[in-house]
């Protein structure tokens, strides 16, 4: 008899489960299309040239040490995190910013913070969303209701704008939290138009909702960080800069620093007094949970963004990544249409960022995995960066077989 016998069995997160299953698969043609991690055309995790150079700069610095960081995090990181997110749109707005343990940590920190200070009845997620959003909020406070707003229309592979707006207008209440993905929506690869973002902001204002942007893919949607921050900056400047909202920011994907856990949380408020109170509360939470954020990855990001030559290199690296994704989307589209594979695949060409929904039923996803050793998530999400010139034909042929035989 153990103290732990009563722990109920817990299903592994579906992304991690697919990755583990593929790792254990010994088939020579296996293809893991589950992780949201950028790979190069050799299926290797890519170290960005800008990151390599920044590492050299840091390691050559004789004063580099491993001290704890200030409670807000690395000052350079916090400053560049703000600049990349808001550019000059803050213009005197009061904001509390903290380094966080990547996007997951920033999402957790904002959930903990809002659960304590706002005590929302309900948190709203897009349907579908990154599966960890629910886990994080459940973990922080299971008493907060979790509800979905319509987002993806799988019949048309587009956003259900009307469903989304009318659900929020009809059912959301003052003080509810709404999670919005800033760009390159995971898992659908479909983002709101600027017009729709304006309508979403208007609903948030009308209904008194508290928006939390999850910004995990800035630079991945269009290859341009300013375009990809448009929605956040719209919220920051709208209504003479009176909206309060938060941004949970990750540097995992856009700097390829997955394991270094670099991120930030920003709370945009209406007054210096509110920002100071928010900051004090965030520091209190961070102290209890982690004391100090990791420093090496933070130094890499700060070094790149603050050095004009490295920043220029980083912009090119973003173009390299987003360009390869576009190329792979086109190749998959061509291979499927060449075979007359049933379904409408044109959204592959217009989807944005790392992911696309293939629309395969869970049963077909299982056949693809069991018979062809091609791993998608059960939701049918396909991670485009795991496609290569070497495997895209096999993937297309396997999808074709699954849909036709
Ligand atoms: C929408 C979204 N938010 C946040 C994250 C968190 O990523 P990380 O904790 O690696 O920065 C991810 C990662 O896949 C994501 O897709």
Total count of residues recorded for the chain? 405
| Residue from 130, 137, 197, 345 carrying the catalytic annotation | 130
Whether 130 is catalytic is yes
Ligand 1 centroid–CA 103 distance in Å is 5
Pick from 104, 152, 261 the residue to mutate for probing ligand 1's pocket: most ligand atoms within 8 Å of its CB: 104
**pLDDT, tens digit, for every residue of 340-368?**
999 989 999 999 999 999 999 999 999 99
The residue whose CA has the least distance to atom 14 of ligand 1 is 36
Per-residue confidence band for 220, with pLDDT thresholds at 50, 70 and 90 = confident
**pLDDT, tens digit, for every residue of 43-60?**
999 999 999 999 999 999
Pick from 99, 101, 103 the residue to mutate for probing ligand 1's pocket: most ligand atoms within 8 Å of its CB: 103
Other beta carbons within 10 angstroms of residue 184's beta carbon come to 28
Atom of ligand 1 nearest to the CA of 129: 1
**pLDDT, tens digit, for every residue of 193-213?**
999 999 999 999 999 999 999
Which of 44-58, 83-97, 159-173 is predicted with the least confidence, judged by mean pLDDT?
A: 83-97
Pick from 135, 217, 250, 263 the residue to mutate for probing ligand 1's pocket: most ligand atoms within 8 Å of its CB: 250
**Contacts of 217 by beta carbon, 8 Å cutoff, 6+ apart:** 181, 182, 183, 184, 186, 228, 250, 253, 254, 353, 354
95: three-class secondary structure by DSSP: strand
The mean of the pLDDT values for the chain is 95
- What local confidence, expressed as pLDDT, does residue 223 receive? 86
Q: How many CA atoms lie within 13 A of 15 on its CB side?
A: 14
C-alpha closest to that of 402 among 384, 383, 380, 385: 380
**pLDDT, tens digit, for every residue of 288-308?**
999 999 999 999 999 999 999
d(CA 396, CA 399): 5
Atom of ligand 1 nearest to the CA of 214: 3
| Residue from 32, 176, 191, 214 carrying the catalytic annotation | 214
Per-residue confidence band for 240, with pLDDT thresholds at 50, 70 and 90 = confident
Other beta carbons within 10 angstroms of residue 373's beta carbon come to 19
pLDDT higher than 80, residue 134? yes
C-alpha closest to that of 372 among 403, 333, 340: 403
Question: Is residue 322 exposed (0-12), middle (13-18) or buried (19+ Cβ within 10 Å)?
Answer: buried
Mean pLDDT of 220-243: 92
What domains sit in the chain, N to C, each tagged with a CATH number? 14-47+320-404 (3.90.1150.10), 68-306 (3.40.640.10)
Question: Is residue 131 exposed (0-12), middle (13-18) or buried (19+ Cβ within 10 Å)?
Answer: middle
Per-residue confidence band for 312, with pLDDT thresholds at 50, 70 and 90 = very high
Within 6 A (CB) of ligand 1 lie 36, 102-104, 107, 130, 181, 186, 214, 216, 250, 252, 258, 263
The residue whose CA has the least distance to atom 11 of ligand 1 is 103
Contacts 24+ apart (CB under 8 A), 57-63: 57/303, 57/307, 57/310, 58/296, 58/299, 58/300, 58/303
Q: Residue 385 gets which letter from DSSP?
A: G
The residue whose CA has the least distance to atom 4 of ligand 1 is 103
The residue whose CA has the least distance to atom 12 of ligand 1 is 216
Per-residue confidence band for 259, with pLDDT thresholds at 50, 70 and 90 = very high
d(CA 202, CA 196): 10
Atom of ligand 1 nearest to the CA of 250: 11
| Residue from 53, 253, 314, 345 carrying the catalytic annotation | 253
Whether 214 is catalytic is yes
- What local confidence, expressed as pLDDT, does residue 102 receive? 98
Mean pLDDT of 128-141: 96
C-alpha closest to that of 366 among 325, 322, 398: 398
pLDDT higher than 80, residue 13? no
């Amino acid at each position: 008899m153990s103290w732990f016998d009563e722990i109920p069995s817990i299903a592994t997160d579906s992304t991690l489960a697919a990755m583990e299953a593929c790792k254990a698969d010994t088939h020579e043609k296996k293809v893991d299309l589950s992780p949201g991690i950028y790979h190069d055309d050799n299926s290797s995790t890519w170290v960005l040239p800008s990151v390599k150079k920044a590492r050299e700069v840091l390691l050559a610095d004789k004063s580099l040490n491993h001290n704890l960081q200030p409670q807000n995090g690395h000052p350079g990181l916090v400053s560049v995190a703000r600049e990349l997110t808001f550019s000059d749109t803050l213009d005197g707005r009061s904001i509390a910013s903290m380094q966080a343990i990547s996007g997951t940590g920033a999402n957790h920190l904002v959930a903990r913070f809002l659960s304590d200070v706002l005590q929302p009845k309900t948190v709203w997620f897009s349907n579908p969303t990154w599966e960890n959003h629910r886990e994080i909020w459940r973990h922080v406070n299971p008493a907060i209701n979790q509800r979905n707003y319509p987002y993806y229309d799988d019949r048309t592979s587009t956003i259900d704008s009307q469903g989304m707006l009318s659900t929020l207008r009809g059912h959301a209440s003052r003080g509810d939290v709404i999670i919005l993905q800033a760009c390159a929506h995971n898992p659908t690869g479909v983002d709101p138009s600027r017009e729709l973002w304006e309508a979403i902001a208007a609903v948030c204002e009308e209904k008194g909702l508290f928006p939390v942007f999850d910004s995990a893919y800035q630079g991945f949607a269009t290859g341009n960080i300013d375009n990809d921050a448009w929605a956040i900056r719209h919220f920051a400047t709208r209504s003479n800069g009176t909206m309060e909202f938060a941004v949970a920011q990750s540097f995992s994907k856009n700097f390829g620093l997955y394991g270094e856990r670099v991120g930030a949380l920003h709370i945009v408020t209406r007054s210096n007094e509110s920002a100071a109170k928010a900051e004090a509360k965030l520091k209190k939470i961070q102290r209890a949970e982690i004391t100090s954020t990791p420093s090496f990855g933070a130094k890499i990001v700060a070094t790149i963004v603050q050095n004009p030559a490295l920043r220029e290199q980083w912009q090119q690296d973003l173009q390299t990544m987003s360009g390869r994704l576009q190329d792979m989307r086109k190749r998959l589209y061509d291979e499927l249409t060449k075979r007359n594979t049933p379904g409408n695949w044109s959204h592959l060409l217009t989807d944005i960022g790392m992911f696309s929904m293939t629309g395969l039923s869970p049963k077909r996803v299982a056949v693809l995995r069991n018979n062809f050793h091609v791993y998608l998530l059960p939701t049918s999400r396909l991670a485009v960066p795991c496609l290569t010139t070497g495997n895209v034909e096999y993937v297309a042929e396997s999808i074709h077989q699954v849909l036709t035989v």
